[in-house]
A and B are shown apart, each in its own frame.
Chain A
Amino acid sequence: MFYRDRKEWADLEPVPQDDGPNPVVKIAYSEKFSDVYDYFRALLKKDERSDRAFALTAEAIELNAANYTVWHYRRVLLQALQKDLREEMRYITDIIEEQPKNYQVWHHRRMVVEWLNDPSEELEFIADILSQDAKNYHAWQHRQWVIQEYKLWDNELEFVEKLLEEDVRNNSVWNQRHFVISHTTGYSSPAILDREVQYCLNQIRKAPHNESAWNYLKGILQDRGMSSHPGLLEQVLELKETHCSPYLLAFLVDCYEDALENNNQKETLNRALEVCEYLAQEKDTIRKEYWLFLQRSLESRFECIDVLLCQGISPLLKSDIKNGV
């Protein structure tokens, strides 16, 4: 039954949308849809705080859960009418299960959790959403918020390992691994760093063509000296024979670049240039132009001292200019 025909709503004048004489991107609503929202607009105008208003917001949400004004008004009513927030948690749980990629529903849940100051259902709920879509950005974002806000770090690494076992290529889970460790033990201790390096290499042995694992490995080492981690270069060169990938080769280039920054050797530069060539011509041809560009820039940055001497140029001056870039 339309709201316009209900006796208990007769006191309200419905408010239609008014787009003027030349509406643009007009959405053709059914009578039912317009009826609900005409009464929503009427309630909004007088800022009515009542149970009938609260009930109507649920209908409005069902028709369009992306209307952020409806959600905001519902939150105003939740507080003004002192509604049962546990019941609201049940409600928002159902809505998110139906529409897990909507921004408004996750924001609403966050507000209710904050009001209740009770995160106890969150990790399990989010795990359930992730079981349906393990890369849902909203779910991971909410999870990080809950963990950080309420200090729920204890079991998260275990959760990460479980998900990586299910899908070692899930980039969101690798990101979560970094999130957990950087906020708990950190990566400064050699024991932890080495554990993580070995963990990466083991995952790479199982699934070599995995950008996420290589990005993680590079990520934790890039500011700690990629070429100085004991035995790593050797392990990577070994893997190159049996578990090669564009990511392995790119990692190798980055190792050589790091080495060159500390000790500019012709041999190292040549190796780096060779790998760039191999990537460009054979192993990562879609990025051919990029690898050739990188090759040129490495060449120009680390042009060797003996070459410069042959050109009769003071090596110090030229390398100052080059390395200043």
Chain B
Amino acid sequence: MAEEESQLEEFEQIDFLRDRHVRFFQRTLQVLPERYASLETTRLTVMFFAVSGLDVLDALDVIDRNNMIEWIYSLQVLPTEDQSNLSRCGFRGSSHIGIPYSVKGPGVLHPYDSGHVAMTYTGLTSLLILGDDLSRVNKQACLAGLKALQLEDGSFCAVPEGSENDIRFIYCAACICYMLDDWSGMDIQKAIEYIRGSMSYDNGFGQGAGLESHGGWTFCAIASLCLMGRLEEALSQRELDRIRRWCIMRQQSGFHGRPNKPVDTCYSFWVGATLELLDVFQYTNYEKNRNYILSTQDRLVGGFAKWPDSHPDPLHAYLGLCGLSLIGEPNLRKVHPALNITQRAFQHLQQLQQTWRDNAGTCT
């Protein structure tokens, strides 16, 4: 009897509820209740989770892409007439500062208006996913804003006013430079030094030197180096093998982020993607990983949570899907493990970049 019951439970858990997830992301893009107030300054990243999530589900047709593209452009911090704010350009996370809605320049002078590196990154990726050609992005301004954020030690702050600095923002910066096909926005060598300095005695990466190694920061480290095209230059084969070992030990059923911590759905992507970039994801246990991710699926409202029987949120919903995509779950689009967008969106980016290069060639 017990065996039958557990087989039935297993079947229920294995059932991937695509339509619920589509609706979950649709609702995310509409209105969230006040208890989500802490997400105000990062609304653009929440949009990215939903839009990229819909892309992975091959369901972008359910949203109004053009309207969303306009909203993203309204978040761009553009240069003022006198260009005095170039080092503050990029994208905002939301309208929380109170700048009047505008999708074109010149920028409005405001004592506290500036871009945020994670918003510039997710703004650009979201535009790409929605099919935009980035023609209204002031690339030079974005790169100037980015440059202003890098510190002596190679790490980045999030905003020019100052903030904590660590490896997360190096990843955001690397994505920005990669997408804009222009690495003048950062000192790559210094960034590599910071990344190397963040490698722990146990061969994972911490948020900075001396800090505890962690699946999220390890992803930032490896993905950044891959985007820079410097993985094998920055790390020896011996180091790469040791990093592979640290990462692969994170699998318990699903994955956790640090030794002796509980598993959490999002690490199926952070660690999974890192393993994929290091060519050893194929040696993980797909079935146990899948079973864990699906056990965190919310069968009623859709989305995924970090743990079973917990509330789903856009981040875990998106990364849960990406985790499933990595193991080849049917009907999910493949995800580019370093840039964290679908291969489809990545191809769109490649085509755009080819056009830019062709145009640059024909300019006199």
Contacts and interface: CB of A to CB of B under 8 A. Distances in A.
Given A135-B258, A212-B260, A175 B213 contact: yes
A65 B201 contact: no
A222 interface: yes
Interface in B229-265: 237, 242, 245-246, 248-249, 251-253, 258-261
A243 interface: no
Interface residues of B, number: 75
Contact of B31 (A28, A44, A178): A28
Interface string A169-211: 1111001001100110000000000000000000000000011
Contacts of A222: 242
Interface in A131-171: 135, 137, 140-141, 144, 148, 169-171
| Max chain A C-beta neighbours (<10 A), residue from B161, B207, B237 | B161
Interface in B122-174: 158-159, 161-164
Contacts of A107: 163-164
B111 A29 contact: no
Given A140-B211, A287-B248, A28 B32 contact: yes
B11 interface: no
Interface residues of A, number: 68
Interface stretch (A12-20, A84-92, A121-129): A12-20
Contacts of B42: 66
B202 A215 contact: yes
A80 interface: no
B207 A141 contact: yes
B70 interface: yes
Contact of A33 (B34, B259, B282): B34
B311 interface: no
Contact of B37 (A18, A24, A27, A68): A27
Interface string A1-27: 000000000000001111111111111
A63 B37 contact: yes
A37 B237 CA distance: 53
Contact of B98 (A18, A175, A290): A18
A134 B116 CA distance: 31
B97 A44 contact: yes
B288 interface: yes
A24 B71 contact: yes
Interface string B96-137: 111111010000001110000000000000000000000000
A137 B97 CA distance: 30
Interface in A94-131: 103, 106-107
A275 B97 CA distance: 60
A73 interface: yes
B343 interface: no
A218 B202 contact: yes
A302 B136 CA distance: 57
Interface string A31-70: 0010001000110110100000000000000011111110
Contact of A16 (B98, B237, B251): B98
Contact of A25 (B29, B245, B252): B29
B132 to A, nearest CB: 14
Contacts of B252: 286
B33 A28 contact: yes
Interface in B58-96: 64, 67-68, 70-72, 74, 94-96
| Max chain A C-beta neighbours (<10 A), residue from B47, B96, B213 | B96
B39 A27 contact: yes
B112 A216 contact: no
Contacts of B103: 20
A67 B99 CA distance: 16
B182 interface: no
B74 A20 contact: yes
Contacts of B97: 41, 44, 69
| Max chain A C-beta neighbours (<10 A), residue from B40, B101, B164, B201 | B201
A171 B260 contact: yes
Interface in B274-298: 280, 282-285, 288
B258 A19 contact: no
A260 to B, nearest CB: 13
Interface of A: 15-30, 33, 37, 41-42, 44-45, 47, 63-69, 72-73, 103, 106-107, 135, 137, 140-141, 144, 148, 169-172, 175, 178-179, 182-183, 210-212, 215-216, 218-220, 222, 250, 286-290, 292-293, 325
List of 10 A-B pairs having minimum Cβ-Cβ separation, nearest first: A219-B201, A41-B98, A20-B101, A22-B67, A289-B283, A290-B283, A215-B202, A15-B98, A175-B212, A66-B38
Given A73-B112, A135-B258, A288-B285, 4 more contacts: A25-B30, A44-B112, A47-B111, A103-B164
